[in-house]
């Protein structure tokens, strides 16, 4: 259901993890080459899993509990991705010859996590509303 706010949040998270990594580089290497996520298989896998979880969460709008669990898994997945980026950026800052520049692509998991947390709050709110209506019957 597209009229629910969590669907909008999940669509934005899908856009951030599925499309924007192709546009924004993660960092610039010391030889002035841009490093995109497609150059490393672990980043491809993690971004792909995050995109897939967002899409599955949008499709399963009738099962709010499953949607909530997939949102939590997606948050954990993006935290792992963010941890890999932080580890890589700490290694980048210790280069001897030239210091590589961090790209805006490294901040995409942070925005995705915020959107997924907002989506989970909205899903929880819907679930509480349905439970309160069931109590009245």
More confident residue, 95 or 120: 120
Question: How open is the CA angle 78-79-82, to the nearest 5 degrees?
Answer: 85
Q: What pLDDT does residue 62 have?
A: 86
Across the range 80-100, mean pLDDT stands at 72
pLDDT, tens digit, 9 for 90 and up, residues 97-132: 444 567 788 889 999 999 999 999 999 998 888 888
> Under DSSP, is residue 35 helix (H, G, I), strand (E, B) or coil?
strand
In whole angstroms, what is the distance from residue 24 CA to residue 34 CA?
9
φ, ψ of residue 103 in degrees (nearest 5):
-95, 170
pTM given for the model: 0.86
Mean pLDDT, rounded, of the chain: 86
**Closest among 29, 49, 31 to 39, alpha carbons compared:** 29
* Alpha-carbon gap, residue 44 to 69, rounded angstroms: 23
């Amino acid at each position: 259901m597209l009229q629910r706010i969590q669907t909008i949040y999940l669509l934005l998270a899908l856009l951030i993890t599925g499309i924007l990594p192709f546009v924004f580089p993660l960092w610039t290497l010391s030889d002035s080459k841009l490093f995109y996520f497609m150059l490393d298989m672990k980043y491809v896998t993690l971004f792909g899993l995050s995109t897939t979880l967002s899409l599955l969460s949008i499709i399963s709008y009738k099962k709010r509990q499953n949607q909530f669990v997939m949102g939590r898994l997606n948050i954990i997945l993006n935290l792992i991705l963010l941890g890999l980026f932080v580890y890589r950026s700490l290694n980048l800052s210790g280069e001897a010859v030239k210091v590589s520049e961090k790209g805006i692509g490294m901040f995409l998991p942070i925005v995705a996590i915020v959107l997924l947390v907002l989506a989970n709050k909205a899903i929880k709110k819907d679930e509480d509303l349905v439970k309160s209506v069931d109590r009245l019957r």
